[in-house]
Amino acid sequence: MQFKVKSALTVLAVAALLVACGKKEAAAPAAAADPVVKIGHVGPTSGAIAHLGKDNENGAIMAIEELNAAGVMIDGKKVKLELMAEDDAADPKQGTAVAQKLADAKVAGVIGHLNSGTSIPASKIYSDAGIPQISPSATNPKYTRQGFKTTFRVVADDVHLGSTLGKYAVGTLKGKAIAVVDDRTAYGQGVAEEFVKAVEAAGGKVVAKEFTTDKATDFNSILTTIKGKKPDVVFFGGMDAVAGPMLKQMKSLGIKAKFMGGDGICSTELIKLAGDAAGDDQVFCAEAGGVEGEAKAGMDDFKAKFKTKFNADVQVYAPYVYDSVKIMVAAMVAANSSDPAKYLPVLAATKDFKGVTGPVTFDEKGDIKNGALTLKTIKGGQLVTLAVIR
């Protein structure tokens, strides 16, 4: 068609006619979106310890948002980090299912899982897929002793955790008759076994060994047995959701022994769950991690920002998740690639990464070198730090 244009109105009419005839000029191409790098996070965001899983997930969200705001450049291109958050409900079967889901989604890396019982079976799936995995909280030694090159953790393991608590029970608390209960999970059994070894090595006596489950609510039978042994210390290998009711039932039965546990009970939630059964200097626990000196200011700042963002206090491991995300992304940046095969060697060589939880260096197994432990007790309804031990 040919048109003779005589006025502005005619121009508009011609344009309309060209559109109607299918002669519309092609629109300018949209700006290309930034490449997306997917990072998985897995924790129990449902079930009895959902408060711990959500705490961890929030740590990942905070790190991802900060990194995206600052701008992450990989191989000369700005990328967008995307979090794929999954719930394993602290169940090994569900843990392997979501691990396979993340592997199928071809995530660049995974932060998690929270529990040893889910981290260990999931680690084989990630290893088979070549996907790096950093656990911020799984402490069973087996996790990094399977020969997988893809497994890392940023906290001390149960050998360190259990042995420190065992020595403390005998040396500081002067425990002479010590009862031990575990929840039959990989974490609970693992930390309890290391605790028993350390107690016996320090000359203490274990007068009772009992077990429960991670979903139990009634402990009267095992506690009645323990009461007959007249312990001055009761150690529990398990999580706060079980420890809180157990403390209440100990009080109702008149068991006045000191109560000890690992990082699984070292949370602000325990104080709510146990109520007045968690009196001053009644509960002692160790968190697998910790900062001191100049590093404490950075942790305090993190906790304040976390509180502002989520209107919640840090439970236990959100800072370790936060650091894990940043360590993983730093390795990608240094390797100029988010391809796991290319950045994995750089991740394994991480040395003196300055995180809010302190410096992180991985050893040949993927464990943190010189990992810290924080011994805590409850005073005035608050968790109070007694000492940071390396």
Structure confidence by residue, pLDDT tens digits, 172-183: 999 999 999 999
244 has a pLDDT exceeding 60: yes
Three-state DSSP state, 271: helix
In the structure encoding, which two tokens stand for residue 103, read together?
A: 């592997």
Would you call the peptide bond into 113 cis, given omega within 30 degrees of 0 as the criterion? Answer: yes
Region for residue 358 given its phi and psi (left: phi exceeds 0; alpha: psi -120 to 50; beta: otherwise): left
Q: What percent of the chain has pLDDT over 90?
A: 81
| Distance, CA of 166 to CA of 86 (rounded, Å) | 35
Least confident of 11-25, 82-96, 213-227, 240-254: 11-25
Stated pTM of the model: 0.82
276 has a pLDDT exceeding 50: yes
103 has a pLDDT exceeding 90: yes
Mean pLDDT of the chain: 91
What pLDDT shows up at residue 4? Answer: 42
Rounded mean pLDDT of 12-17?
38
14 has a pLDDT exceeding 60: no
Alpha helices in the chain (DSSP H): 8-20, 50-70, 92-104, 116-129, 158-171, 186-201, 220-228, 240-252, 268-274, 295-310, 318-335, 340-348
Domains and CATH numbers, the chain: 36-156+293-371 (3.40.50.2300), 159-287 (3.40.50.2300)
110 has a pLDDT exceeding 60: yes
| Distance, CA of 371 to CA of 247 (rounded, Å) | 29
Q: Distances from the Cα of 187 to the Cαs of 118, 132, 183, 236, in angstroms?
A: 10, 22, 8, 11
240 has a pLDDT exceeding 90: yes
Rounded mean pLDDT of 298-314?
95
Cβ 240 vs Cβ 214: under 8 Å? no
What pLDDT shows up at residue 17? Answer: 38
